[in-house]
Structure 1
Amino acid sequence: MKFNTILTSVSRTLTAAGLLSLTSAMAHAAPLTTWQTAGDVTQNTQLGGIPLGQTSYVLGTATFNAVDDAPLAAGALNLSGQNPLEIGDLTATIGLPGASLDDETNSHFAYEGSAMFNTVNVQAGDTLSFDWRLFGQINTSAMPTPDAAWLILGNTAIKLADVDSLSTVNNTWLDSGSQHISHTFTQAGSMKIGFVVADVDSYDTTSVLAIQNIGLTAAVPEPEGLALALTGLFILRRMSRRSHQS
């Protein structure tokens, strides 16, 4: 009886010190590999002749059966054989407010796009990380192309970049180069995570978003809490041995 009382007390102490959250977090940490998709989404190791380094999710805005990038033929830059979705359908599919992808301040409005998304349970301190790369087919008109890409967290769209901010030319694409982002969650709960690329202000000129190395890393416990947790495990083991010997 005395041992059980002490065991309960130590267990509560370990919970407060972070042992149980450590165990839970270790089980929780995992790469994100299962996604729902909408529009023109596939996986590939390259975009045309541009190597992506490894297998990446690629999301595009090219229509399969319409000319978006004259003089290229219809569907020449489509990635999957699926058309991008009209923006109202896309935001509804993801579960975003209708105007989430519009920049009303600068009068830029999303027309169509593609997305990948998932809903996962996160803990406070978990970190989402990924690498992204935005491409825009070279636009020969006088106006820049405001096509854009976003990270989706919950019901919020966070712009990664727009094509008219890109300056590096790679083959026939403007290319952002590989970029890395990490985000640490401050609250536990169910979280929608997604990525979107969209045609903005017109249906012409294809843009592509490449995503790779997506991971969700569990919070790392403080060294003091870990040391106390290990001490508690040692105490529990000693008590268990003495209980069996008696």
Structure 2
Amino acid sequence: MHALPTRIARTAVLVAGLMAGSLAHANIANGNFSAGLSGWQTFGDAAALSSSPASLALPIGNSTLVLGTASLGSDDYPQASGHYNVSGQDVGAIGTSGGLEDFVGAAIGSLHPDPINFTSILWEGSAARQSFTVQAGDTLSFTWNLLSTDRDFADRAFVVIDAHTANGLQVLALGDAAQATNAVSGNGQLLQTGSQIFSHTFTTAGTVTLSLAVADLDAPDQTSLLTVNDVALTAAVPEPSTAVFALLGLAAGGLFMRRRQG
């Protein structure tokens, strides 16, 4: 008597299992940086901070990745000796073997905003990266903020997504110092873009490497900082297959006929 309802229940469990299984691959490690930099590889001046150093007054309210362009030397405005350096590690070079381009998997010179004429110079920068698997339809997202003392040149922040296939490298601009027009409370030297949301939907499945980076453009004595929170991969919710719908329909139809015969 209870065979058909049992089949329907089992089918519902099957559908739920299929959909839950599709979410299991969303595997970005430590995307909220609550475990520091665990799960991430870094280059240059990179730190995971749960609060701002008192001397900088950065707008940080929870665990945050901070990437900077400040060297440990005395060449960074407005204060000397790496005032805006957040990690104690020196900023990394750009445009040379073993530099930032190599770290993010890009050809030397390809991160320049004008790679043909090179009317300006990228000097130094920092980055963080992580590899993970994606399915078609998955969406990568995170929040970011670019802070800068650069009033004359456009220090820039960007995302590099490497699919590890021929022509599978994407360099996506986040923003530049020209967009940092909002005041930072407690720090009269810095301006900020304010919190922004980045979103990217993958069209093919595979293993990708995500790199987050910030770079000095033209003026190495000016400092910019990229902050990132809540890096997440949201799995596409698949539509149940036609076969599963058919199975549900047959089971429900059988139950209806059984009740009419009873």
Look up the SS of the partner of 1:30 in the other structure.
Answer: coil
Contact kept? 1:136, 1:206, Cα under 8 Å: yes
CA–CA distance in structure 2, aligned partners of residues 125 and 196 of structure 1: 25
Q: 2:43 corresponds to which residue?
A: 38
Look up the SS of the partner of 1:115 in the other structure.
Answer: strand
> Structure 1 residues 45 and 23 mapped into 2: Cα distance closer, same or farther (>3 Å)?
closer
What value does the CA root-mean-square deviation take over the aligned residues?
A: 2.7
Structure 1 residue identity aligned to 2:103: T
Say which structure is richer in helix. 1
> Structure 1 residues 145 and 162 mapped into 2: Cα distance closer, same or farther (>3 Å)?
same
Structure 1 unaligned segments of length 5 or more: list them.
1-13, 236-246
List per-residue Cα deviations over 1:205-237 (Å, max 9, x = no partner).
Answer: 110000001011111112x549937957x97xx
User: Runs (4+) of structure 1 moved beyond 6 Å?
Assistant: none
Q: 1:145 corresponds to which residue?
A: 153
Look up the SS of the partner of 2:23 in the other structure.
Answer: helix
How far apart are residue 119 of structure 1 and its match?
A: 1.5
1:75 pairs, out of 54, 65, 82, with 82
Look up the SS of the partner of 1:192 in the other structure.
Answer: strand
2:105 pairs, out of 80, 95, 104, with 95
Q: 2:219 corresponds to which residue?
A: 202
How far apart are residue 51 of structure 1 and its match?
A: 3.0
How far apart are residue 152 of structure 1 and its match?
A: 1.0
2:72 pairs, out of 35, 44, 64, with 64
CA–CA distance in structure 2, aligned partners of residues 41 and 145 of structure 1: 22
The answer to whether the aligner puts 1:179 opposite 2:196 as a matched pair is yes
Contact kept? 1:67, 1:73, Cα under 8 Å: yes
Contact kept? 2:104, 2:160, Cα under 8 Å: no
1:228 pairs, out of 222, 244, 247, with 244
Contact kept? 1:19, 1:225, Cα under 8 Å: no
Structure 2 residue identity aligned to 1:27: A
Structure 2 unaligned segments of length 5 or more: list them.
1-13, 31-38, 163-168, 252-262
> Structure 1 residues 230 and 176 mapped into 2: Cα distance closer, same or farther (>3 Å)?
farther
CA–CA distance in structure 2, aligned partners of residues 77 and 148 of structure 1: 16
Contact kept? 1:118, 1:194, Cα under 8 Å: yes
Look up the SS of the partner of 1:164 in the other structure.
Answer: helix
CA–CA distance in structure 2, aligned partners of residues 230 and 66 of structure 1: 71
Contact kept? 1:18, 1:221, Cα under 8 Å: no
The answer to whether the aligner puts 1:129 opposite 2:127 as a matched pair is no
Structure 1 residue identity aligned to 2:160: I
CA–CA distance in structure 1, aligned partners of residues 40 and 66 of structure 2: 13
Contact kept? 1:18, 1:229, Cα under 8 Å: no
Look up the SS of the partner of 2:24 in the other structure.
Answer: helix
How far apart are residue 74 of structure 1 and its match?
A: 1.2
Contact kept? 1:29, 1:216, Cα under 8 Å: yes
> Structure 1 residues 228 and 110 mapped into 2: Cα distance closer, same or farther (>3 Å)?
same
Contact kept? 2:22, 2:238, Cα under 8 Å: no
How far apart are residue 53 of structure 1 and its match?
A: 2.2
> Structure 1 residues 205 and 230 mapped into 2: Cα distance closer, same or farther (>3 Å)?
farther
The answer to whether the aligner puts 1:163 opposite 2:177 as a matched pair is yes
What is the TM-score with the length of structure 1 in the denominator? 0.78
Say which structure is richer in strand. 1
Give the length in aligned residue pairs. Answer: 213
1:107 pairs, out of 119, 128, 131, with 119
